[in-house]
Structure 1
Amino acid sequence: MSGRDPERRRALLDAADRVIRREGPEASMAAIAAEAGVTKPILYRHFGDKSGLYQALAGRHVRSVVGLLRPEFDRAGADLRGRARSAVTAYLDMISANLNLYRFLFHRAGAEDSRTHSQMTAVVRGLGEEIGRVIAAESDDLDPVRAQVLGHAFVGMVQATGDWWLEHPEVDRTEVVEGLVSVIVAAMSVTPASAARPR
């Protein structure tokens, strides 16, 4: 069945990427199909439906984000602040360089329907879990549950702040990065026991 041909599927996703980067978050399914040289029904056949296409695009790019952030947060010999700074800088650089694609995936796709919203929520949750695993692997004395809490918190915080920053290009990126890094370092430096200690 053609829908299971990984090379064909990759070519269709490449076409979708090109159209979204060129036309922005309002890129139509018709334009994506035309770019790929197929009709919309054939495009949907490969992914099940429009939501399936969104999910496939999101999965592709979330893997890229994780692949980008993991080595930055996992730098041998770098202190926590340096690793966090590298990871946050890489993320902000990535979304600003791929603005149309980012807005398509994280704004339009989530607004299309409840199913797509649920799928995108699952994608973001998966990223939080991955970052939590990176944190746990890098911190021998950190409880795995706390690592997951921090992973999800960091993903949500950086994503929300990144959204805000994209709407305020007048704000210096360095100021945004340092603000986020300070929160991350503070959160990872507080143990559950010290956080619960009465003042």
Structure 2
Amino acid sequence: MSGRDPDRRRTLLDAADRVIRREGPEASMAAIAAEAGITKPILYRHFGDKSGLYQALANRHVRTVVDLLRQQFEQTGTDLRGRARSTITAYLDMIAANLSLYRFLFHRAGAEDSRTHSQMTAIVRSLGEELGEVIAAASEGLGPVRAQVLGHAFVGMVQATGDWWLEHPEVDRTEVVESLVGVIVAAMSSATASLR
């Protein structure tokens, strides 16, 4: 079946990327099909349906983001402030550089398709869980529940602030990063101080 051909799928996803970057998050399936030189029904046949295309795009891009953020936060030999700063900077740089794709995946596709929304939510949740585990391991005596609460709070805060910042390009990225880092460091300091 042609829908199983990984090279063909890659070519079609490349076409989708080009259209979304060029036309923004409102890019149509018809425009994506035209870019690929096929009809819309053939495009859907390769991915099962529109949801399958959305999920293939999400898998392609979100895993890249997750891997980058994981590398940044797991840097050894760097204090919490430095790791938070490099992770948040990398995240904001990535969403700003891929604005149309970010808005397509996190806003349009998630709003139109419940499976894609569930997938994106699960990825954000897994980032919170991972960060909670890192916090628990790095903070002696901080219980696993408290570490998980902080991990999810930090991920949600950075994502929501990133969305706000994209709507306010006049705000300097460094100010946003340092404000977020300050909140994270203060929350961690408060959490560990309360254990003493």
8 Å CA contact 2:142–2:192 kept in 1: the answer is no
Residue 14 of structure 2 corresponds to 14
TM value normalised by structure 2 = 0.87
8 Å CA contact 2:73–2:87 kept in 1: the answer is yes
Gaps in structure 2 of 5+ consecutive residues: none
**Relative to 1, partners in 2 of residues 1:134 and 1:63: Cα closer, same or farther, differing over 3 Å?**
farther
CA deviation string 1:81-103 (max 9, x = no partner):
01100000111111111111111
- Tell me whether 1:55 sits opposite 2:58 in the alignment: no
Distance 2:149 2:127 in 1: 12
Distance 2:56 2:156 in 1: 21
Residue 73 of structure 2 corresponds to 73
Distance 2:102 2:7 in 1: 24
Residue 29 of structure 1 corresponds to 29
The secondary structure found in structure 1 opposite 2:77 is coil
8 Å CA contact 2:139–2:192 kept in 1: the answer is no
Gaps in structure 1 of 5+ consecutive residues: none
**Relative to 1, partners in 2 of residues 1:69 and 1:115: Cα closer, same or farther, differing over 3 Å?**
closer
The secondary structure found in structure 1 opposite 2:194 is helix
Q: Kindly report which structure 2 residues correspond to 1:1-199, keeping only aligned pairs within 5 A, or say none.
A: 1-136=1-136, 142-191=142-191, 194=194
Distance 2:117 2:64 in 1: 21
CA deviation string 1:44-76 (max 9, x = no partner):
122221122112211221111112112211222
The secondary structure found in structure 2 opposite 1:191 is helix
Letter in 2 for 1:23: E
Distance 1:99 1:162 in 2: 11
Distance 1:54 1:22 in 2: 17
The secondary structure found in structure 1 opposite 2:183 is helix
